[in-house]
Chains A and B, each alone.
Chain A
């Protein structure tokens, strides 16, 4: 999973924009007010400044929406971060020389001589223009803004391997600060910060040591009903456990916690992915399948987060095989998956044809890849599926076949084995038929008709999904404040109109009655 892992992060961060129209309109207005539209492509520093302004506004108006918007473009901004951009942003946001500014700046490496000149120029140019553009901030930025800046710093430090230990230290410090401030408006930022902390630990290879810290944080978050932190922390813990193959602990964690339903898509996708893996190891394939499918549906587009997409699909393919289904061939032609799933494609081929020899060969050839993907143990279990598929194919094509022929066709060791295997297949519902022991053959029942309770069930599942989707999207709609007043006025009018109509109808009725009376 080595290359995949690195890419997993964008998977979670690239939040899916759920912008409603009103929010977009707000966006435009906002950007016009706050930044003078001098240069259309903003420099990273300017972007950071704009985001800080948004955060301040969000906190002062108690509107979490702004904060979420800032966090949504975290992924894109992260890619653009440079030492000088961060320095510039820090210099401009903290106008006065404060302690906070110094501590934050100290995390950045000393700018080299050339860049120093540039930086100095920027600073020279900065102070005179800043007061003109907008009223100078009366005090230091809010704690939320500081946390945001720290978060950016952590992500920046994480981007190069040499600075990972520093990132770890900074993330720790930030977490402590967040806990000291203890502000609810900071929760979304805190969640991101936890994520960065977990990432820092993972990159420095000390995942084991962070567990206790995360567990206490999870406890606090759930007591405070801090959904976002909770979601992130549960996922971090699961990832932590699964990294060491501690499926038992992971399963207990899942059983003891409730994943917040309001969590964002990226976190939900990861949660489903981890759940799917746990369930698959526990042989609960149908649940694993549902979870992995959810993870795929919730995940961002394949191009945006290829690592996550590949990792989920690897498990998805294996679980589908374990369930006795054959994944669609088009899946393996997907540009993002074509290389990553090459080994899995071979496995699928051998399962589909029920070819045990080819299966063993593939398993040997791709051993290293499967081991690093952590799918090896699952794939080893497929051996019995290869046999089952073979049995099923035979039962479909023959109405009666001798046990010895089965033995030869499936490369089994003995007729005795074949009899037990067939018996088990019948009991597990893989095939429908009877063994006639005296004559030593298997009598296969005819194919079932395509209609029955199973079909109704499948139909029901699909309808259920559609209805749920519909209800969720209805719930997710947002309406601008007070916009309904106009409508109520209009409704009032309509009601008047209706009343009039009713009156007219009534009159009409009366007329009719009159007519009748007259008759």
Chain B
């Protein structure tokens, strides 16, 4: 089951292409596709739990998949990252006793966490976080893990300005690819807060709150959310929509009461 000559050659050129600066994305993509086909024919992919493959082969597979994951982020292909990461998961979890630890494992796990945050999949974020095999102290010291954890905490408590200022402190280059969508996420969060928390807001302040430097950007954003803009007074007015809440849910009450009556009849 040894990898063929061609595979080894492709693998080496992939590493070279990946490590050259700037990284040759197109070439990497081609090589990755070829390598994946090669791995499947060699019986090394998909990685089965407890397969018979040798440790060296698995390390090669892991390296290829890791490069693939990084490559997907650099070429901004999130679904592809998802696939690579899912395949890597088997190698990280089920082979943790067999394989030597990979230096790229934690950056990738951290990236995955950030990705979940940007997609607002908080529940998945926490499930993934629980599954990380690190002691709490080690996790707190690991910059790759600590960063998304801190970002999540700020997001949850509402310290959006901290998220904004932390966007430059990303521990790895790839994290920056997520910054844009993260900013989009927090802008939407802030906007939904503002809609409820304010009656009206001056345009200038709204721009600072939403981290807009450009007035036109803000106007476009406001239009998208359906806010009323008063250009003369330079204010944004938010629609009120929660005044009619006091209505008694009649049908619900009636059906509940009927249900009680039926049950009571059964008892008596």
Contacts and interface: CB of A to CB of B under 8 A. Distances in A.
A383 B149 CA distance: 13
Interface residues of B, number: 44
Contacts of B161: 414, 416-417, 420
A435 interface: yes
A298 to B, nearest CB: 23
Interface in A367-397: 367, 371, 376-377, 380-381, 383-384, 387
B234 to A, nearest CB: 12
B153 A384 contact: yes
B160 interface: yes
A420 B248 contact: no
B197 A245 contact: no
B158 interface: yes
Contacts of B256: 456, 460
Interface in B103-160: 122-124, 126-131, 133, 135-136, 153, 156-160
Contact of A245 (B130, B136, B157): B130
Interface string A217-248: 00000000000000000000000000011111
Contacts of A467: 260, 263
A424 B131 contact: no
B205 interface: yes
Interface in A280-317: 281-284
A423 interface: yes
A282 B116 CA distance: 13
Given A421-B159, A427-B193, A470-B267, A247 B136 contact: no
B263 A424 contact: no
Contacts of A438: 202
B253 interface: yes
A437 B156 contact: no
B253 A456 contact: yes
B202 A437 contact: yes
A56 interface: no
Contacts of A424: 157-158, 189, 193
B158 A425 contact: yes
B190 A377 contact: no
B13 interface: no
B157 A387 contact: yes
B198 interface: yes
Main secondary structure of the interface of A (DSSP, over half): helix
Given A417-B161, A420-B190, A425-B158, A435 B131 contact: no
Contacts of B198: 423, 434-437
B158 A437 contact: no
A377 B129 contact: yes
B201 A246 contact: no
Interface string B169-203: 00000000000000000000110111111110110
Interface string B207-243: 0010000000000000000000000000000000000
Nearest to A385: B157
Contacts of B160: 420
Nearest to A278: B127
B100 interface: no
Contacts of B153: 380, 383-384
B196 A427 contact: yes
Contacts of B209: 419-420
A420 B197 CA distance: 10
Contact of A371 (B93, B128, B136, B267): B136
A109 interface: no
A463 interface: yes
Nearest to A421: B158
A453 B253 CA distance: 9
A434 B256 CA distance: 35
Most interface-central of A419, A420, A436 (chain B CB within 10 A)? A420
Contacts of B93: 246
B249 interface: yes
Contacts of B124: 248
B162 interface: yes
A35 interface: no
Contacts of B128: 248
A104 interface: no
A514 interface: no
Given A383-B157, A387-B157, A427-B196, A283 B202 contact: no
A426 interface: yes
A81 interface: no
Contact of B123 (A282, A381, A463): A282
Contacts of A453: 248-249
Contacts of B248: 453
A283 B127 CA distance: 10
A99 to B, nearest CB: 36
8 contacts: A283-B122, A283-B123, A377-B129, A387-B157, A417-B159, A419-B209, A427-B197, A456-B249
Top-10 shortest CB links A-B: A424-B158, A423-B193, A282-B123, A421-B158, A384-B157, A423-B197, A426-B197, A247-B127, A427-B193, A245-B130
Interface of A: 244-248, 251, 281-284, 367, 371, 376-377, 380-381, 383-384, 387, 413-414, 416-417, 419-427, 433-438, 452-453, 456, 460, 463, 467, 470-471
Given A281-B130, A371-B135, 17 more contacts: A245-B131, A245-B133, A247-B130, A281-B126, A282-B123, A283-B122, A376-B136, A380-B153, A413-B162, A422-B197, A423-B196, A425-B158, A426-B197, A436-B199, A452-B246, A463-B260, A470-B267
